Amino acid sequence: MNDQPNAHPLLAAAPWLRDTATMKVFDVLERAGYQGRAVGGTVRNTLLGEPISDIDMATDATPEQVTLAAQRAGLRVLPTGIAHGTVTIIVKGKPFEVTTLRKDVSTDGRRATVAFTSDWAEDAMRRDFTINALYCDRHGNLFDPVGGLQDIEHRRVRFIGDAHQRIREDYLRILRFFRFSATYANGHLDPVGLAACDIERTGMACLSAERIHHELLRLLAAPHSVPVLKRMSELNFLDDLLACPHNVEAFAALRALQEELSQRYSLEMLPDPVLGLVALAASDRNAVLALRQRLRLSNAETERMAQAREAARMMPATGNGEGIHACIYRHGSRYVEDGLLLNACEAPQRLDLNELAQRISLARTWSPPQMPVSGGDVVARGIPPGPRVAEILKQLEAWWIAQGFPQDRAAIEQHLDHLMMITKT
């Protein structure tokens, strides 16, 4: 183990490190006699050239000492995770999570009981992967106690120390191994880590559905999720997680289709894990409901998945776009786009890519018009408010849609009069 600092040019030049708000946090800690280092994803992503979202820091100060030092400097402090040693310092509106160095006292496969320490090596050894145990001081000096830099350079995701022990501390690390490999290792799975995950897999039974759900969706959004999911399927991990039939090939086809549409037609296609889950495992509404129970999906996720599957069933396979207009009008543009993508990735006879791109563009750009005639026009013709008004409007709207959404009020009123005549009771 080598914790000697080495200057790293990518860190020294990182905008987030040179930012005055970051320097302020270092100042607060150091002036009070403590050490502070950026840690984890902040350092990892800088070295990988990936975007930085939040800045996490580790310190040998206790949460109370961090809070006192920050408040004396006039900064706001939030006790966001104080039981785990974390407080959040707000500097110029930017949040900095500052966590006291920790060591595990006991673990049960889901959570750890921790104690604070002043030993940076102990803090590193309790983390999951080598690439997450990299530290950086205010000058851009890199502290690499477990060999994470070499794994960064080779795009490897490896457990720290004994992989079996790391997994037994928290069985969610099995899913994190797959997700991190799909995100940072180009989909390559470290053989030692994979073997340990396979042996320890039964421990995942103790995990809550909510934690599995959160980690699985992040895996589905990862850039190299396809090769990882294929390997997970071969080893029956997906059977364990989903407890329902799955189709990795459909998921792979969806991702490939989205990438092609993005590259060839400049249609922005951001990773969509919810639609990806539909392609992977929600073959019908019953499967959606089973996944909702299994993964504790939110109401919004469940509704989106059910509507996407229904859209694929209802979407016209061919035609000049009139059916697409009607679907957009009745259900919305996202419903239509979901249905188009699912049909294209699942149907044996895939739509022509040009036609598919045109339909998706239509779904994103066409704004459904409002029918010029309303219930008030029916009532004005002597029909009292009630079910008959609603029925006449329903028939009128169906005619109006079939006619291509005309805006000629006179023609619509003429058809309204015709409907009123033939629906008299």
Domain final residue, candidates 349, 368, 387: 368
User: Taking 70 as the threshold, does the pLDDT of residue 1 lie above it?
Assistant: no
Total domains, the chain: 4
pLDDT (0 to 100) of residue 314:
83
User: Helix count (H) and strand count (E) of the chain?
Assistant: 23, 10
- Domain check: are 208 and 298 in the same one? no
CA angle (194, 217, 197) in 5-degree steps: 15
User: Taking 60 as the threshold, does the pLDDT of residue 18 lie above it?
Assistant: yes
Mean pLDDT score, 33-45: 97
pLDDT (0 to 100) of residue 108:
73
- Least reliable range by pLDDT among 99-113, 195-209, 249-263, 267-281: 99-113
The H or E element that residue 180 is part of is helix 172-184
CA angle (231, 233, 235) in 5-degree steps: 70
**3 state DSSP class of 344:** helix
- Domain check: are 195 and 295 in the same one? no
- Domain check: are 150 and 21 in the same one? yes
User: Taking 70 as the threshold, does the pLDDT of residue 316 lie above it?
Assistant: no
- Domain check: are 144 and 170 in the same one? no
User: Taking 70 as the threshold, does the pLDDT of residue 409 lie above it?
Assistant: yes
User: Taking 80 as the threshold, does the pLDDT of residue 351 lie above it?
Assistant: no
pLDDT (0 to 100) of residue 350:
65
The residues, ordered by sequence, that sit 6+ positions from 419 with a Cβ below 8 Å of its Cβ are 392, 395, 396, 399
Categorize the per-residue pLDDT at 382 as very low, low, confident or very high, splitting at 50, 70 and 90. confident
CA torsion sign for 78, 81, 84, 88 is negative
Mean pLDDT score, 107-118: 82
Domain final residue, candidates 242, 262, 279: 242
pLDDT (0 to 100) of residue 93:
95
User: Taking 70 as the threshold, does the pLDDT of residue 23 lie above it?
Assistant: yes
Which residues form the domain of 67?
Answer: 6-154
Mean pLDDT score, 234-262: 95
pLDDT (0 to 100) of residue 264:
95
Categorize the per-residue pLDDT at 105 as very low, low, confident or very high, splitting at 50, 70 and 90. confident
Write the pLDDT tens digit of every residue in 73-83.
999 999 998 88
pLDDT (0 to 100) of residue 348:
57
Categorize the per-residue pLDDT at 422 as very low, low, confident or very high, splitting at 50, 70 and 90. confident
User: Taking 60 as the threshold, does the pLDDT of residue 237 lie above it?
Assistant: yes
CA torsion sign for 217, 222, 228, 234 is positive
Mean pLDDT score, 211-224: 98
Q: Who wins on pLDDT, 314 or 414?
A: 414
- Domain check: are 401 and 314 in the same one? no
Percentage of residues of the chain with pLDDT beyond 70: 96
Dihedrals φ, ψ of 78, to 5°? -115, 130
- Domain check: are 290 and 317 in the same one? yes
- Domain check: are 40 and 58 in the same one? yes
Write the pLDDT tens digit of every residue in 122-173.
999 999 999 999 999 999 999 999 999 999 999 999 999 999 999 999 999 9
User: Taking 90 as the threshold, does the pLDDT of residue 184 lie above it?
Assistant: yes
Residue whose token pair is 């109370």: 64
Residue 3 tokens read as 């914790």
1 located within any domain:
no
Residue 62 tokens read as 């206790």
pLDDT (0 to 100) of residue 315:
79
- Domain check: are 414 and 364 in the same one? no
- Domain check: are 237 and 135 in the same one? no
pLDDT (0 to 100) of residue 7:
85
- Domain check: are 352 and 234 in the same one? no
CATH of residue 142: 3.30.460.10
Instruction: Count Cβ neighbours within 10 Å for each residue of 253-285 and write b for 16 or more, e otherwise.
Output: bbbebbeebeeeeebebeebbbbbbbbbbbbee
Domain final residue, candidates 352, 368, 384: 368
User: Taking 60 as the threshold, does the pLDDT of residue 320 lie above it?
Assistant: no
